[in-house]
A and B are shown apart, each in its own frame.
Chain A
Amino acid sequence: MDIGVQENQLSELKLKCNHIRQQIIKMVHHAQSGHIGGSLGATELVVSLYYHLMKHRPDDPLWPQRDRFVLSKGHCTPVLYAVLADLGYFPQEDLWTFRRPGSHLQGHPYQPKTPGVEATTGALGIGFSTALGMALVAKQRKEDHYYYVVCGDGEIQEGEIWEAAMFANKYKLDNVIAFVDRNYLQTDGNSEDIMPLDPLAPKWEAFGWSTFEIDGHDIGQIIETVTRARDCQGPVMIIANTVKGKGVSFMENAVGWHGGVPSQEDTDKALTELTNGA
């Protein structure tokens, strides 16, 4: 299948991921607050969507024909803001106001104020419903664009997710392509200890969704799978296996980096690793 991505494009996207990861570290260090682990883990998903898969116009954030992205795991604003700033939705220097009074870059996405943010999210589960509400309107109007949603795996413990899952099936929302960012880690530890989620794909299939399971850090696989997902009837859930904290050795798979704040030393070390890995 021609997925329309060349080797040189893949290399560029990988470099972009590296840059975004550095921005994430810098933002959270500068703010001394924020969610690093889940942001690093979702970087390939968000970068693949914004720099390759989605049609959108940073200089015209409300362009009606754009594809929409909803970060339902709203705490991972660092990756979203870093990408939106890099694309020019708002000035890069705004990143250094993240989580500060007066900034449009709130701890969690705030749709009325931030260009490029499609839905206010943060309290888990709600963003998923909001995205489906948007998608329902677009489907009824026969508009030709997609709704991409990223949920955390811990997030899908929320009952609202399953209410929404039933709804998307009932209304055959074939313009929805969602991801579970499956890193097995949530605030209190491993998801399978806290509230087991496996087996995940059969759960979504039982709710009427098409599913794919991929390596959430393999950009080629992300692009290929989303391209195939567009041909599915009804809503699609892509279970993206990821590593929380990906790209910085001492942050990978470490529960403490869900909401941990890096010291100057941590920051220097992380940026050195990323620079060397680029």
Chain B
Amino acid sequence: MTKYTFTEKQDTRSGFGAGLLELGRTNPKVVALCADLTGSLKMGDFKKEFPERFFQVGIAEANMMGLAAGMSINGLIPFTGTFANFSTGRVYDQIRQSIAYSEKNVKICASHAGVTLGEDGATHQILEDLGMMKMLPNMTVINPCDFNQTKAATIAIADHEGPVYLRFGRPKVPIFTPEDQKFEIGRAIRFTEGRDVSIFATGHLLWHAIEAEAKLADRGISAEVINIHTIKPLDRQAVLQSIAKTKCAVTAEEHQLNGGLGDSIAQLLAQNTPAPMEMVAVNDQFGESGKPAELMEKYGLSTNDIFEAVLKVLERK
């Protein structure tokens, strides 16, 4: 069985920046808009190489979303960049009406999602964004797990006609997926094959799920770790096939329990093949200031939380 290791850590936002730069070189329709967070979003290289295709809109996110809709009407593929908090809740009406409902080819690229934003605290740590975005008809929702996957996802969404929400984060995290991967929207990736429990993880939690799998293996528990990088459309077949074998599930995400990946999988299982399930997510709380790793521990998003959730769900089988 494959054992996953890493030699390097990098932030997923840098994966976005690298993907955007590559798109600049390969797809002349791609343009970028940013609301005064060029450095944070790692959009600087794109800006430098393609100044005429980069638009600094200032601290004015509502206008940015409306502009992006208009630019897509005239044939471009706009990528908007700001924090996840300001990419969703602040501009929900703009996205809902003029991008999702209006079926516009806009890519909403959202950094610093979740508690791993860290010290700035709850005002900026959005944990509700996946829920808000997945509720919108026509919206594709993607939450990649490391630098390489984020870069590949950024490149892939340019070829997908329609609105996309791409979520990534601030801290440096292990790089453990292949550099040359092709990202397939809506296609889950099985990282380890197992028979006792399915662990469905997204974003930063995937690495923790892989760590938990190793701990579980030491106890003789065989866990199937599946990366749900696309929250919507959910890879129903991959989830149901795994559950047919393991008969129980744990979900893991840096998001509220309400509205996240766990919700989506619970809905799918309840409608098809009810199975015991535990959810590793933030339990109806706001975050706070702190180091990313400290906060992941405190809010129940650690490797050990996944490990414990597996033990719990196995008892319910």
Contact = CB atoms under 8 A, between A and B. Distances in A.
Interface of A: 110-112, 118-123, 125-138, 140, 159-160, 163-164, 166-167, 170-171
Contact of A140 (B52, B65, B68, B78): B52
A164 B76 CA distance: 19
Contact of B74 (A126, A137, A164, A166): A137
- Most B-side CB within 10 Å, residue of A122, A123, A126, A132: A126
Contact of B70 (A110, A119, A122, A160): A119
B71 interface: yes
A126 B93 contact: yes
Contact of B66 (A126, A138, A170): A126
Contact of B60 (A130, A138, A166): A166
Nearest to A128: B66
Majority SS at the chain A contact face:
helix
Contacts of A159: 62
B58 A163 contact: yes
B23 interface: no
B69 A119 contact: yes
B55 interface: yes
A121 to B, nearest CB: 8
Interface string B70-96: 111111101000000000000001101
A123 B93 contact: yes
A110 B102 CA distance: 7
A120 B66 contact: no
A55 B195 CA distance: 67
Given A125-B62, A126-B94, A167 B102 contact: no
A251 to B, nearest CB: 28
A53 B102 CA distance: 28
A130 B72 CA distance: 9
A167 B52 contact: no
B4 to A, nearest CB: 43
A132 B93 contact: no
Given A112-B102, A133-B68, A140-B52, A120 B97 contact: yes
Nearest to B31: A137
